[in-house]
């Protein structure tokens, strides 16, 4: 892939731009393999059972362009001539003069995205929305966030500093929707998001619905996952489809044969809108998902209801790091969460302390009486736990709890092989059975890794 913005130094987001794609894939695979080298297993015989070496699957390739389903565009310029893209990366953020570059034609975006961007730009001009100027701290419209579904429907969110221009935006929305419907990319969700603070974040806490029913359906492998404005969704739809499909297949394969693990209960921790949960939900399986974002949980519950699965695929808002600490209720209101930043860092009101670790009693936990405060989906110990945390990994509390638990299979999907390796080091009772790199983020050095761990 070749990019004029990269070549001109206007955008440096794609660090590997210009590196042939086959080489990017080889590098990503080698990098992850290197990070996990201490955990790769040789063939061995344990208690008379022959255990094969770690099965390292060929990396899953992405399309090298046109793969992104989501755009977070900084709005600069003027209402008459808005630019949708990024702030000039060559200036220090603290002393930025507000210059931005228009990246509507960025080659990473899925076909159809630019049609949405162009219609949004026309709306900004018609409504007279003033782009926020980071240098002068004036103006209202900070960012536009667009998500495009595989069915060519979209969600458009306008991130505003205040409600000063909300009425003008509200009055413009029907025209925008009319244009997008005529162009074949109907906007099924339009919202305003408020970000009053002068901070380099893509969005704020408050979401104001302007049109639509607040859910966009992302259809992957025939499963219509509902997405609401503030819920996380994997940005590369095709690669996410392959990731979820492999996860389901690996669990099916691990549950069959001589050493097969009967899989009746699955936990999907850090579940987002339930991508893993719905792919792993079988006829005779219960799945429980836990996630810190209430919007994502509401979306996952809407999917369960729409698919007629609400009786056996359930979700709760809560801190996944404490999910296996059966001795204590995982009450969301005992923790005060900050927002996840782009880097994936969360600011927690409370860090996991030695005290919370000592209250975790996982050796006996899976057999303990179910906590009546918990719903059916997680009243009993799971056979499989899926974890898909942000870049910081699952951390000490959850990895130590998993290590001491009776859980037979763990599927760990990670976007950071370094923290994955750190977490695996705290779980020596698990054998790394299978691994695969998924190129979720072509043109960058980042990749997603799925590993299947089986208790020795
Ligand atoms: C990489 S995303 C994965 C989401 C989902 N598994 C998917 O496939 O789309 C990580 C998710 O973890 C959530 N999260 C972050 N910290 C959490 C915590 N302590 N407990 C539960 N969920 C958390 C985020 O809100 C986000 O939805």
Phi first, then psi: what are they for 175, rounded to 5°? -65, -45
Q: Please tell me whether 270 is known to bind a ligand.
A: yes
* Sign of the dihedral defined by the CA atoms of residues 164, 104, 273, 267, in that order: negative
Distance CA 20, CA 25 (A): 9
Distance CA 302, CA 323 (A): 22
Percent of the chain exceeding pLDDT 90 equals 79
CA dihedral 36, 37, 40, 42 (to 10 degrees): 180
Distance CA 155, CA 229 (A): 8
* CB-count exposure of residue 37 (10 Å: 0-12, 13-18, 19+): exposed
For 8, the token pair is: 């001109």
344 has pLDDT over 50:
no
* Mean pLDDT within 204-232: 96
pLDDT at 378: 59
For the domain 21-63+236-455, what is the CATH code? 3.40.50.150
For 32, the token pair is: 């992850």
* Mean pLDDT within 124-144: 96
pTM: predicted TM-score of the whole model, two decimal places: 0.89
Q: What is the full DSSP assignment across 283-344? A: TT-EEEEEES-HHHHHHHHHHHHHTT-TTTEEEEES-GGGTT-TTS---GGGS-B----TT-
In the block, residue with structure tokens 């059975």: 433
Residue closest by Cα to atom 13 of ligand 1: 270
pLDDT band for 297, please (50, 70, 90 cuts): very high
Render pLDDT for 307-332 as a digit per residue (tens, 0 to 9): 999 999 999 999 999 998 754 444 33
333 has pLDDT over 70:
no
346 has pLDDT over 80:
no
Domain map of the chain by residue range? 21-63+236-455, 70-212
Q: What is the mean pLDDT of the chain?
A: 88
pLDDT at 257: 76
Identify the residue with better confidence: 162 or 355.
162
- Tell me the CA–centroid distance for residue 390 and ligand 1, in Å: 6
| Ligand 1, pocket-test mutation among 344, 389, 396, most atoms within 8 A of CB | 389
* Mean pLDDT within 249-277: 93
Report whether CATH 3.40.50.2000 matches the domain 70-212.
no
- Tell me the CA–centroid distance for residue 270 and ligand 1, in Å: 4
Residue closest by Cα to atom 19 of ligand 1: 319
Q: Give the residue numbers marked as catalytic.
A: 415
Render pLDDT for 395-442 as a digit per residue (tens, 0 to 9): 999 999 999 999 999 999 999 999 999 999 999 999 999 999 999 999
Q: Please tell me whether 69 is known to bind a ligand.
A: no
- Tell me the CA–centroid distance for residue 174 and ligand 1, in Å: 34
- Tell me the CA–centroid distance for residue 366 and ligand 1, in Å: 23
371 has pLDDT over 60:
no
Those residues with Cβ within 8 angstroms of residue 52's Cβ, 6 or more apart along the chain or in another chain: 43
Judging by DSSP bridges, how do beta strands 265-269 and 384-387 pair with one another?
parallel
* Residues 309 and 295: beta-carbon distance below 8 Å: no
Residues with CB under 6 A from ligand 1: 232-234, 270-272, 275-276, 290-293, 296, 319-321, 340, 346, 388-390
For 349, the token pair is: 């009101």
For 403, the token pair is: 């290590």
pLDDT at 369: 38
* Mean pLDDT within 274-302: 96
Render pLDDT for 60-82 as a digit per residue (tens, 0 to 9): 999 999 999 999 999 999 999 99
pLDDT at 343: 30
360 has pLDDT over 90:
no
* Mean pLDDT within 156-162: 98
């Amino acid at each position: 892939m070749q990019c004029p913005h990269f070549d001109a130094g206007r955008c440096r987001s794609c660090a590997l731009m210009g590196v042939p794609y086959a080489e990017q894939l080889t590098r990503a695979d080698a990098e992850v393999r290197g990070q996990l080298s201490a955990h790769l297993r040789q063939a061995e015989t344990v208690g008379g059972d022959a255990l094969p070496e770690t099965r390292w699957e060929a990396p899953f390739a992405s399309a090298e362009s046109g793969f992104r389903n989501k755009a977070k565009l900084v709005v600069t310029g003027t209402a008459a001539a808005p630019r949708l893209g990024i702030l000039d990366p060559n200036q220090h953020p603290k002393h930025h003069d507000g210059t931005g570059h228009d990246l509507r034609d960025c080659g990473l975006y899925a076909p159809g995205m630019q049609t949405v961007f162009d219609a949004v730009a026309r709306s900004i001009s018609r409504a007279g929305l003033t782009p926020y100027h980071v240098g002068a701290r004036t103006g209202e419209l900070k960012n536009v966030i667009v998500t495009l579904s595989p069915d060519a429907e979209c969600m458009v969110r306008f991130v505003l500093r205040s409600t000063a221009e909300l009425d003008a935006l509200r009055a413009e929305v029907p025209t925008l929707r009319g244009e997008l419907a005529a162009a074949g990319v109907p906007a099924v969700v339009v919202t305003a998001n408020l970000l009053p603070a002068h901070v380099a974040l893509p969005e704020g806490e408050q979401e104001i619905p302007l049109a639509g029913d607040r859910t966009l359906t992302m259809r992957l492998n025939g499963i219509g996952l509902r997405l609401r404005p503030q819920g996380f969704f994997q940005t590369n739809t095709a690669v996410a489809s392959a990731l979820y499909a492999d996860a389901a297949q690996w669990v099916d394969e691990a549950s069959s044969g001589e050493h097969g693990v009967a899989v009746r209960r699955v936990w999907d921790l850090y579940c987002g809108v339930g991508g893993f949960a719905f792919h792993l939900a079988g006829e005779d399986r219960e799945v429980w998902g836990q996630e810190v974002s209430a919007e994502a949980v509401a979306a996952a519950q809407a999917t369960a209801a729409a698919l007629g699965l609400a009786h056996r695929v359930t979700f709760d808002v809560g801190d996944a790091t404490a999910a296996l600490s059966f001795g204590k209720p995982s009450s969301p209101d005992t923790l005060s969460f900050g927002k996840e930043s782009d880097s994936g860092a969360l600011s927690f009101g409370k860090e996991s302390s030695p005290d919370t670790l000592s209250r975790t009693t996982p050796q006996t936990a899976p057999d303990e009486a179910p906590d009546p405060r918990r719903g059916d989906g997680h009243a009993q110990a799971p056979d499989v736990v899926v974890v898909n945390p942000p870049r910081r990994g699952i951390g000490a509390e959850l990895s130590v709890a998993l290590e001491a638990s009776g859980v037979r299979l763990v599927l760990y999907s990670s976007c950071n092989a370094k923290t994955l390796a750190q977490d695996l080091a705290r779980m020596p009772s698990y054998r790394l059975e299978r691994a695969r790199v998924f190129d979720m983020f072509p043109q960058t050095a980042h990749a997603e890794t799925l590993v299947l761990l089986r208790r020795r």
